[in-house]
Structure 1
Amino acid sequence: MKPVWKWIIGVLVVIIIAVIGVGWYFNRNWKPLLEERLKEVVHNSTNGLYSLRYDDLDLNITLGNVTLKNAELIPDSAVYQKMVLAKEAPNSRFHIKLTNLKVRSFNLWDVIRKRKLFIKNITFESPDIHMISEYHAYNDTIKPKETKTLYDNIKDVFSSVNVRDIKIDNVKFKFSKIEEGKSSDIQLDSIGIKVHDVLLDETSIKDTTRLFYTKMVEIDVPGFEYDLSNGLYVAKFDRLTINTQEQNVLLTKVVYKPKMSKGNYFKTRGQNVTMADLRFDTLRFEKLDFKRVIDDQQTIARNVQIKNGSISLYNDKRYPKKSSNKIGKSPHQQLLKLKQLIHIDTVFLSNVDVLYGEFSAKFHQEGVITFNNASGIITNVTNDSLHLKKEPWMRADLSAKIMNQGLLKINFGFNMMSKAGEHTYKGTLGRMQATAFNKILKPLLNVEIGEGNIRGISFNMQANDRRNWGDFRFDYDHLKINLLNKPGEDMNKTKKGILSFVVNNVLINDSNPDANEVYHIGKVNYTRVPEHTFFKTLWQSLLEGIKQCAGISKEREAKLLGAAENVKEITEGSKNVIKKTGNFFKGLFKKKDNEDKEEKKEK
């Protein structure tokens, strides 16, 4: 071996020994310093709310690696209660455990020369995260005090800290919500989290393209199912994905449904309480303000999309219904009463089927009405009082096919600032066969539409908590009503035919304009029954318009309802009428016969 190579090898050995020596020195002397500063930064940056504990810190300066074993970030409950009393406590706090925290490939020389720390990647192994949410109203109204940022607490050691990638796999997450001293929990497993480009320096906190110093956070949650506290319903979804850079949240196959059949549901409740079954293929939030969600549990988004799903609502009148005053409890009024702030510019609804079913206690059948392929937009969905002072109206522009036939278009307007619940609704219904409504009329009223063409319906209504009023137009022809036997009764079809004849020729107009070419317009002025819901009141108001257009006066309506509810009674009445009519004609013919006989005698 030539001397020059000996010299080169000798230099390399010295360098290696020097690096190892420097690494050993820093490992031995920096480790206690790093441990102390690490715990100090956590404590100071959270105003004493959190402390950091771990079993061991493995530091390898030469390779630029650090491993924290059995680490735990612990919230101090005593400090939190003091912050609550001082109205400084956040709405959320965390308790985090993990097996290992691995920091890889940081550059010591940049730290020494430039006070800049760059880390290639950080890995969290088997993290267990418990998020505790406790709403405090003052966070909505009180401007927070100036507090030190995370950078303020590290700037004496580093001028900047940059982490390129953070990977967190197989996360166990528990969310506890505390309301009125009671806690409800949701647990998730196998969550995947990726964080890209974390930067702490004097400018990053003001960088609007970052969320809590990060450029992007991606979260992937696989299948989730949760039994609600009342034990009657289950909520679940197939997948949840979150991207903070795009500010999007996507849920697929979202389901909120009863855990039992309709029969068992009402039997368990023992009351006629509406059963709901909601299913959506896609639920997406766009331009969602994640910082407000995390800090204050406020939902502020540009758009929400609800696509391809169904809403099914059922009632069973065989069970008693708890009567209560529904004044002030309409959907838009309930939105205003929510504790958490909501502000969504636009909700897009696409291809959602809506079904309402009701089981009759009298006729023991279930009637249904459907609104198929419901679509439209709802704007200004908010309970933000400051925003509502500028624009108080929430509006909904919706369309659907009733019974999968006639196209219904309806526009709602809700004055969110009105103490009287002021709202408006107007719409149109296109051509359809009236017989389509037999699916709800026959089971619930024991009446069916024999034939009838609906040429069009239009209405323009105003309303408040107490009254609905406006114009209603109903164009139709060839309307025929059939009164049916009660289930179990064996009545002669001719008798039903006579009753139906009376109803169709005496009680209602078979067309509008009627036989005398008079066009009937409904002038609705409906006083709300306090126990009726918003939607029932809306239907009763429109029904008032239908009745007026059909020429059904209150006296006629009483006769019609009496006929539908007691066919037998009217049949007996009709028999008497027929009997008297028959005697009248017999008398005429008998009189004529007698006169003929007398004429013959005279001849």
Structure 2
Amino acid sequence: MAFKLLKHRWQKITLIVVGGLLVLTLIIALFANSYFAPKLADKIKVEVLKGSDSLYRIDIGNTDLHILRGTATLYDIKLSVDSSVYNLKKKQGDAPNNLYELQVKRLVVSHMQLLRMYFKKELNIGRITLNAPDVVISYHPNQPDTAGKKDKRTLWQKLSKTLKLVNVGEIYLNDVKLKYKNYSGPKVATSEFRELNLKATDLLIDSATQKDTSRFLFCKNVSTELLNYSSKSANGLYSFKVKSVKLSTQTSKLTVKGINLQPAEHVKFFNTVKADRFTLRIDSAAINNFDYINYQKSQEMDASKITLNHGFFEVYSNYNGKLQTTDRLVTFPNWAMRYAFKARAKVDTLDLKRFEFVYRQLNKTPMKTGVVVFNNINGRFLNLTNKKEALQKNNIATANVSSYFMGKGKLDLNFKFNLDDADYKYHYTGHLGPMSITDANQPMMALSMVRATSGRVKSLDFDISSTQKTSTGTVTLLYNNLQVDVLRKDFTKRGLISTLANTFILKHDNPDDGKTEPRKAKVAFIRPANFPFFKTVWQTILVGLKACAGVGKAEEEKFNKQNAEDAKKEQEDLLKDAKKRKEKEDEKFKEALKKKREG
């Protein structure tokens, strides 16, 4: 049959011509492949040098080029920094903050229009794929992001003489091994990441996109995903895990899932270090309008909103901990915002949703651990910043938090912090709703050696103004039928002392039977230097709680009917009492410190 098809002379001639053309095309393609392959590698090297102003160089092992298929495979690629050029730029004040190094065994380029690049100087590529590359990013704080550059040409202007356009449809980096080195501190901080994937779409470098701020690295979108990240602290007492981290430059949204900071078992932990023990779990965190460009340039953290969903945070006070001899002003939120964050930051809104906070402390007298729990915490924090230009517009950070104390009484708190005041002023108010006092017996028994046998809180309200040294304000505790037992080490009742406390010291109701005006306590507290922030807040409120319950001074009708002179005198008396309490605390601290040193 085949011979019959070729029985005509014109058919044979046609077959010979077509076959010859195919052979000629293959010969030309093979020649072009062998000719253009090294040309392509050389072209890439030249453009990298030009585009980076000689800062980077790229080495390529072998290149396989298939013109007919429009594919190229590059082997043993290494992108490195020319240290001599970098040092020269550093001396000239023109060195970049971030340096990049790359090693990859195999890079595949597909759907490449080589003839268009050769004749029209337009580089069009469908896809670039890098599998298992090793990437090293180094951050050096060489210059602020506002520093002027000597060469103000755009990347397109640098490349335009050899390439009029560069367009890549998709770029894939799969299973990346990334090492990040931060040289901004006294020691190099190194982080390593595996299972990192990156996809970039529509990379376009031309005259229209050279200054397009909506693109990141000239790409319409860059999405990154980090899976199953884990690390351990240097001392091995903490393990940190994250299930996934995703960033989209198009939406400027960073999403983190499965955050878990897990400490070692508490006996091992407290026998190893003197610090408190922390546990943290967060189901998910979302950062909206994250300024990733500013972060990449200068490590600044700017975001419109951060949302933390469904979390658990526990603090276990170290019973072997050392006595703090330094001023604990460093624990104040407005101090921390100013000095603890090394990077400049501005977060407009931080939302907490469905959190639980647990505080544990061992009382060595009965050898029992008290546990204070706040359930279902929801909160909103506004204007968290340490940027001077932002503080000039608004220097007040606010926090509005609601929770359930011991899972029973609804507690609403409102804080205001002055972020640039020399005295670290802050103000807070709070309201606790109805609950049984016996619901708080677990921490009361373990930490205070007192057990409530009956009693119900109707409400607790406080309004306190503070500086780093003094706190003054009012506390009102409304309750009824308060009865307590004073306990021994084994939690058995101390009968005589309990009877005396219930009969002569405690007031069982507020307001008292037959009276309509409740007792209110004016409070003053002078902070001992070794008292941290939350202990200061609690001790200030505690002064008022004791006064309302009869252990101290509280006023009824007189509270709202004082003239200015009487109020001033009372304030002076309160501060005198507060000074005495502070002196007692200082003496207790000195004794404890002496015993610690002797022991």
TM-score (ref. length: structure 2): 0.86
| C-alpha distance in structure 1 between counterparts of 2:366 and 2:471, whole Å | 31
Larger CA deviation: 528-537 vs 174-183: 174-183
Give the AA of the match of 1:299. Answer: M
Equivalence for 2:307: 305
Equivalence for 1:75: 81
| C-alpha distance in structure 1 between counterparts of 2:238 and 2:210, whole Å | 43
Change (3 A) 1:179 1:117: closer
Give the secondary structure class of the aligned counterpart of 1:510: coil
Larger CA deviation: 25-34 vs 305-314: 25-34
Matches within 5 A, 1:155-194: 155-194=160-199
- Verify the 8 A CA contact 1:72 1:98 in the aligned structure 2: yes
Equivalence for 2:108: 102
Aligned-pair distance for 1:532?
0.8
| C-alpha distance in structure 1 between counterparts of 2:154 and 2:237, whole Å | 45
Matches within 5 A, 1:469-480: 469-480=472-483
Query: Cα deviation per residue 1:201-240 (whole Å; 9 max; x = unaligned)?
Result: 1122322331111112222222111012343222111122
Equivalence for 2:326: 324
Change (3 A) 1:91 1:18: same
Aligned-pair distance for 1:148?
3.3
Residue from 419, 432, 442 that aligns with 2:435: 432
Query: Cα deviation per residue 1:337-395 (whole Å; 9 max; x = unaligned)?
Result: 22212222211111110001101122211001111011121111222211111111111
Aligned-pair distance for 1:332?
2.7
Give the secondary structure class of the aligned counterpart of 1:327: helix
Residue from 223, 228, 231 that aligns with 1:223: 228
Change (3 A) 1:6 1:473: farther
| C-alpha distance in structure 1 between counterparts of 2:435 and 2:24, whole Å | 91
Give the secondary structure class of the aligned counterpart of 1:237: strand
Equivalence for 2:488: 485
Equivalence for 2:139: 133
Give the AA of the match of 1:508. Answer: L
Equivalence for 1:509: 507
Equivalence for 1:538: 537
Equivalence for 2:574: none
- Verify the 8 A CA contact 1:307 1:352 in the aligned structure 2: yes
Give the secondary structure class of the aligned counterpart of 2:47: helix
Equivalence for 1:580: none
Give the secondary structure class of the aligned counterpart of 1:139: coil
| C-alpha distance in structure 1 between counterparts of 2:510 and 2:28, whole Å | 99
| C-alpha distance in structure 1 between counterparts of 2:481 and 2:85, whole Å | 77
Change (3 A) 1:513 1:485: same
The yes-or-no answer on 1:49 pairing with 2:55 is yes
Aligned-pair distance for 1:145?
4.7
Matches within 5 A, 1:258-297: 258=263, 260-269=264-273, 271=274, 273-297=275-299
Change (3 A) 1:303 1:107: same
Change (3 A) 1:228 1:134: farther
Query: Cα deviation per residue 1:387-441 (whole Å; 9 max; x = unaligned)?
Result: 1111111111111100000111111111112122111111211111111221111
The yes-or-no answer on 1:360 pairing with 2:363 is yes
The yes-or-no answer on 1:385 pairing with 2:388 is yes
Residue from 422, 425, 430 that aligns with 1:422: 425
- Verify the 8 A CA contact 2:222 2:249 in the aligned structure 1: yes
- Verify the 8 A CA contact 1:45 1:148 in the aligned structure 2: no
- Verify the 8 A CA contact 1:423 1:462 in the aligned structure 2: yes
Matches within 5 A, 1:327-406: 327-337=329-339, 338-406=341-409
| C-alpha distance in structure 2 between counterparts of 1:513 and 1:265, whole Å | 47
| C-alpha distance in structure 2 between counterparts of 1:438 and 1:132, whole Å | 54
- Verify the 8 A CA contact 1:126 1:169 in the aligned structure 2: yes
Aligned-pair distance for 1:61?
2.7
Aligned-pair distance for 1:505?
2.3
| C-alpha distance in structure 1 between counterparts of 2:151 and 2:161, whole Å | 19
| C-alpha distance in structure 1 between counterparts of 2:88 and 2:479, whole Å | 70
Q: Which runs of 5+ in 2 are unaligned?
A: 1-5, 555-576, 581-599
Give the AA of the match of 1:434. Answer: I
- Verify the 8 A CA contact 1:316 1:360 in the aligned structure 2: no
Equivalence for 1:256: 261
Aligned-pair distance for 1:18?
5.6
| C-alpha distance in structure 1 between counterparts of 2:200 and 2:10, whole Å | 50
Change (3 A) 1:14 1:520: same
Give the secondary structure class of the aligned counterpart of 1:542: helix
Number of aligned pairs? 550
Equivalence for 1:595: none
Give the AA of the match of 1:506. Answer: F
| C-alpha distance in structure 2 between counterparts of 1:526 and 1:6, whole Å | 109
Query: Cα deviation per residue 1:284-312 (whole Å; 9 max; x = unaligned)?
Result: 21221221222222221222111111000
Please provide the CA RMSD for this pair.
2.6
Change (3 A) 1:541 1:77: farther
Residue from 406, 411, 419 that aligns with 1:408: 411
The yes-or-no answer on 1:124 pairing with 2:122 is no
| C-alpha distance in structure 1 between counterparts of 2:386 and 2:17, whole Å | 73
- Verify the 8 A CA contact 1:451 1:479 in the aligned structure 2: yes
- Verify the 8 A CA contact 2:38 2:63 in the aligned structure 1: no
Aligned-pair distance for 1:327?
2.4
| C-alpha distance in structure 2 between counterparts of 1:172 and 1:471, whole Å | 58
Q: Which runs of 5+ in 1 are unaligned?
A: 559-603
Give the secondary structure class of the aligned counterpart of 1:242: strand
- Verify the 8 A CA contact 1:472 1:542 in the aligned structure 2: yes
| C-alpha distance in structure 2 between counterparts of 1:161 and 1:218, whole Å | 20
| C-alpha distance in structure 1 between counterparts of 2:490 and 2:148, whole Å | 67
Aligned-pair distance for 1:8?
5.1
Aligned-pair distance for 1:194?
1.6
Change (3 A) 1:514 1:196: same
Change (3 A) 1:520 1:7: farther
- Verify the 8 A CA contact 2:57 2:79 in the aligned structure 1: yes
Q: Which structure has the larger Rg?
A: 1
| C-alpha distance in structure 1 between counterparts of 2:158 and 2:67, whole Å | 23
Change (3 A) 1:454 1:166: same
Matches within 5 A, 1:562-573: none
TM-score (ref. length: structure 1): 0.85
Give the AA of the match of 1:57. Answer: T
Change (3 A) 1:399 1:386: same
| C-alpha distance in structure 1 between counterparts of 2:297 and 2:109, whole Å | 27
Aligned-pair distance for 1:95?
1.6
Equivalence for 1:442: 445
| C-alpha distance in structure 2 between counterparts of 1:80 and 1:451, whole Å | 74
The yes-or-no answer on 1:519 pairing with 2:524 is no
